[in-house]
Amino acid sequence: MSKKNTILPSTASQPSGLPFTVKYWGTRGSIPSPGPDTVGYGGNTTCVEVRCGDQLFVIDGGTGVRLLGELLNANGPTKVTFLMSHLHMDHVMGFPFFAPFLRPGFQIELWSALHHGHSIKDTLGQLFAQPTFPVTMAMLQADLGFHVLQAGDTLKFGDVVVKTTILRHPGDAIAYRLEYAGRAFCHCTDWEHPAHTELDKGLVDLLRDTDVASIDATYTDDEYEGRVGPSRRGWGHGTFAAALRHTDAARVKRTILTHHDPRRTDAELDGIARTLLAGRPDVRIVKEGDSFDVARIDEGSNALTAPKRV
């Protein structure tokens, strides 16, 4: 993808100083993983809600988006902007069950890069189609807007600035940095780190001095290198150690590790937290339902503000 910078006009300006919150509706990678061994960290695939003042952004439409849609139908707001990392199945498979698509007057804006020449509109057209799903695009009643972006674009939505960079993943993916009220949050999945101890300079630049960043940490080093099971090189996902190497290099204040391997149990993730993250109170392995307010994180503290289970 070529790089360009684009400032897009917004019809609304949001007042600064309002909450800047993040909630994880899906934390699992590749395929949903329900069951008793994953209930603690969650089995739904990627879906991250970001509220900047009264603007609602959602990164990806994995299976976690279903419950978010039910909440929005009940409580509002009636506008959402989706920022798509990419269009692989685990990041779009929740859309057919996102209830606001069937709600007249609900405004849904969807931003995505082209992936293998296909847009998010093309992808939804494949999802909402017979014989695999009975509801077609023609039956959707919400007001839909489709937008194409390129890695490197900068988007502006009122007082919210959204910066992007390309991620190393089969077919490419997009990382997002949302800046609002003097704070910044990054979400970086699906992403594979460079070989050995090299750094992904584009990602480090996007992450630089971020207040909170969530980043792909799917594998242990042994798994990635093939010392346990097949080598995962080239699969498009990162390791716990590589994720921290990048967030540390970028001076990220709080790191959230996400995109859990679908086979990873709660007990395994608890063990990784005890061993690999010992002495790192600024790092957390995210659980489905975790939330926090970026605007209220104390920059003078090394402790990650405890996510609130909602």
- The H or E element that residue 15 is part of is none
- Kindly state whether residue 8 falls inside one of the protein's structural domains: no
Residue 11 lies in a domain: no
> pLDDT (tens digit, 9 = 90+) per residue, 119-145?
999 999 999 999 999 999 999 999 999
Q: Do the domain assignments include residue 74?
A: yes
Q: Is residue 304 part of a domain?
A: no
Asked whether the predicted pLDDT for residue 44 surpasses 50, the reply is yes
Specify whether the CB–CB gap between 214 and 48 falls below 8 A: yes
Structural domain includes residue 39 = yes
Q: For residues 206 and 161, give the distance between their C-alpha atoms in angstroms, rounded to a whole number.
A: 13
pTM, rounded to two decimals: 0.90
Task: Tell me the pLDDT tens digit for each residue of 238-293.
Answer: 999 999 999 999 999 999 999 999 999 999 999 999 998 899 999 999 999 999 99
The more confidently predicted of residues 237 and 284 is 284
pLDDT at 17: 54
What region, left, alpha or beta, does residue 99 occupy, with left being phi > 0 and alpha being psi -120 to 50 degrees?
A: alpha
* Token representation of residue 116: 């293998």
pLDDT for residue 234: 67
- What are the tokens at 241? 């150690």
Q: In Å, what is the CA distance from 227 to each residue of 23, 45, 191, 221, 230?
A: 35, 27, 21, 8, 8
Cα separation, 78 vs 82, whole angstroms = 13
Lowest mean pLDDT among 12-26, 55-69, 172-186: 12-26
3-state secondary structure of 47: strand
* 69: in domain: yes
Domain residues for 292?
Answer: 20-296
**pLDDT (tens digit, 9 = 90+) per residue, 100-113?**
999 999 999 999 99
Instruction: Answer whether residue 307 shows pLDDT above 60.
Output: no
Give the least confident one: 28-32, 202-206, 234-238. Answer: 234-238
Q: In total, how many domains does the chain have?
A: 1
- How many angstroms separate the CA atoms of 150 and 50, rounded? 21
Instruction: Give 175-218 pLDDT, tens digit per residue.
Output: 999 999 999 999 998 888 888 778 999 999 999 999 999 999 99
Evaluate whether 49 touches 25 at the Cβ level (below 8 Å): yes
Contact 222, 228 (CB under 8 A): yes
Q: How many CB atoms lie within 10 A of CB 274?
A: 9
Q: What is the mean pLDDT of residues 81-95?
A: 97
pLDDT at 298 over 50: yes
pLDDT value at position 228? 84
High-pLDDT (> 90) share of the chain, %: 76
The CATH number for 115's domain is 3.60.15.10
Residue 12 inside a domain? The answer is: no
The pLDDT, as a whole number, for residue 16 is 47
Residue 2 in any domain: the answer is no
